Structure 1
Amino acid sequence: MQFIKAWIPFNAWYKRECKLARLPVLTDANCIEHVCNTTNTYKTRIITLLGGEDRESENFRELITDLHHELQAHVIPKPESPLNFSTMIPGITSTNLVQKDFRAYHYKVERIPHGTNFQFDIRVEDKATHSPRYTKTLNRWNLNDIEADPNFLALQSEECKKKIIEFFKEVNPKKPLDIVLRPKTKADGTIVRPSHSIEIGNQVYFVDDKEKIAKVLIHLLYKLRCEIFHGSLDPTEANMGIYKNAYHIQYELVKELI
């Protein structure tokens, strides 16, 4: 498969880069994180092509648009865990604390480093009296641990339950980074571009943050590589469009590394 041929020089490059950076563990996953979180030739090339106005940049954005459409049309590897521009998890999310007032309650949900993992503290109190309505401490991020908690189930306010879940999701260390913005349609059928967006292709909009887009793209290409390398996805006719676009994107990027 052509995509694998385009991945091999990238693999050799990032292994060399990570050795020079003296990474203690040189797994592919660790190296991909290093590429995402440092300034380097590969990521800089993505950012340049995302914002460029020349034909090469336009072609690159067209390839990303086509890849986006292919991933929407052909869900891989399975419906419950699809790979696309809305489901990537490029590292630990930055939100450690959510502290908000809503109606009668004050909500505080905090993610605290605890050894090699995190502890999650949840506290809901009455704004007027400061008396606690719900408290919970968890040693892992798992929605089921809250939803099955008898004290949570005993809360009379469904609105309060929804807010606890909403704020708990915000401190999820592995929260997917959705960079796709959906356009709105006016009553007359006119498509309205979302605010704070970059138009990648015809009516395809990503967040106006090239650094985030680059990280998501790097992770997505890596995940597509893993599906092939680990034998969990056959290169069938249905998904060949995905890997055709992934190959051309990767080929454009590795040219800078050779």
Structure 2
Amino acid sequence: MAKKNNFSDNVARWLNIAELKIDYYTQFVKAWIPFNAWYMVSYSIALNSDKDRVIIDHIKDNSNPFRDRIINLLMDATATGLEFKHYLAQLHLELEGHTVPSHDNKLSFRSLFVKKNPNSSHTLSQGKFVYKVTYDETIPKNQNRLKCEIFDSTQNLRNIYLEDLPTWDKTLFDNHFPYQALSQTKKKYLKECFLQVNPKRTENIILDPKIQSNGKKMAPLGGVTIDREFSIYFVNNPILISQALIEMLYNLRCILFHGEINPTDTNQKIYKYAFLIQQILIQELQ
């Protein structure tokens, strides 16, 4: 019921926004439309799908003019490159300063689902015990996809713990009685394996600056400088950064199109920088 009321409040605010001549929510939509048209023309037939999510994932995972443009701009020291990175830094700061929900999680470059976790199994040896968790999405949904095991290495890897769960679910895992009955040590290591096979494991592309004794902020080793003035640094992985940015823009598009964002003046600043970034990127598609 609370969620319904929130949507009602958003409708009223959107009606107020509609009276404005210029706003960055609308500007972002205008910058998204040519991108949407480009990727539908370029990939819907090849991928045999007109679903935005399918095509966006393909764009993230493969070389193409849009993703390549992001990577090039990250390394670009010209005015356009510096401008792009400044907007990217400001988008990060605005997201950190406001709670924008997406699937019950705050949208942030510090914790963003970028791509499917390639690790379907994780094994950890501690003392005489071996811990293993496997998650297999190829198993039908009506069967158990998650297997948790503990072996005793002193007894020819005798299986001393085996539990199957229908899916990867943190609450279900934590509250499962056999897991609760384990010692704190065994729970700790089994949980570590469990987290490693999360199919939607998030990525953190932010590197915090080093703080010297005098309080001065220094660039972290091996990072990509996004904005020196604001001490914003990303991980030294341009492909991952490009994937994260595409995913972030798509998330912002979805909550905007679905009316989930509260269209306040402060949230509008998020879309200001999302629009300015998108405006630069779509120039490559002409």
TM-score by length of 1: 0.91
Q: Which residue of 2 aligns with 1:183?
A: 209
Q: State the distance in 1 between where 2:245 and 2:28 align.
A: 15
Cα distance change, pair 121–20 in 1 and its aligned pair in 2 (3 A): same
**Which secondary structure does the structure 2 equivalent of 1:114 belong to?**
coil
Task: Kindly provide the CA deviation profile for residues 95-132 of structure 1, in whole angstroms up to 9, marking residues without a partner as x.
Answer: 12212212332112222242466822221123323333
Q: 1:181 to 1:239 in 2, by over 3 A?
A: same
Pick the aligned partner of 1:199 from 192, 203, 225.
Answer: 225
Match of 1:142 in 2: 169
Task: Specify the SS of the correspondent of 1:99.
Answer: strand
The CA distance in 1 between the partners of 2:59 and 2:262, in whole Å, is 27
The letter for the 2-side match of 1:189 is G
**Inter-CA distance 119–192: structure 2 relative to 1 (3 Å threshold):** farther
Per residue, is there more helix in 1 or in 2? 2
Q: CA deviation at 1:155?
A: 1.1
| Residue identity in the other structure for 1:213 | I
- 1:235 maps to 263
Which secondary structure state, in structure 2, belongs to the residue aligned with residue 122 of structure 1?
A: strand
Match of 1:110 in 2: 134
C-alpha change, 1:220 and 1:98, in structure 2 (3 Å) is same
* Residue equivalent to 1:171: 197
* 1:244 has 2:272 as partner: yes
The reply to whether residue 2 of structure 1 matches residue 2 of structure 2 is: no
Moved more, 79-88 or 38-47: 79-88
Q: Deviations over 1:151-179 (max 9, x none)?
A: 211112x1221221122111111111221
Question: 2:244 matched to which residue of 1?
Answer: 216
Deviations 1:1-56 (A, max 9, x none): 111110110010010011342x2221111111121122110000000001112121
Identity %: 32
Q: 1:116 to 1:195 in 2, by over 3 A?
A: farther
Q: Which runs of 4+ in 1 moved over 6 A?
A: none
Alpha-carbon distance change, 189 to 102 in structure 1, aligned in 2, over 3 angstroms: farther
Q: Residue in 2 aligned with 1:63?
A: 87
Query: How many angstroms apart in 2 are the aligned matches of 1:242 and 1:144?
Result: 32
Find the counterpart in structure 1 of residue 284 from structure 2: 256
- Structure 1 residue 87, shift from structure 2 partner: 3.1
- Contiguous gaps of at least 5 residues in structure 1: none
> Which stretch has the larger CA shift, 206-215 or 70-79?
70-79
* Equivalent position of 1:17 in the other structure: 42
More deviation, 88-97/26-35: 88-97
2:109 alignment counterpart: 85
Equivalent residue, structure 2, for 1:42: 66
Bigger Rg, which one: 2
Instruction: Say if 1:143 and 1:37 are closer, same or farther in 2 by CA, change over 3 A.
Output: same
Retained in 1: the 8 A contact 2:149–2:163? Answer: yes
Counterparts of 2:70 and 2:179 in 1: how far apart (Å)?
Answer: 45
Q: CA RMSD in A?
A: 2.0
Choose 79-88 or 140-149, whichever is displaced more: 79-88
TM-score with structure 2 length normalisation?
0.83
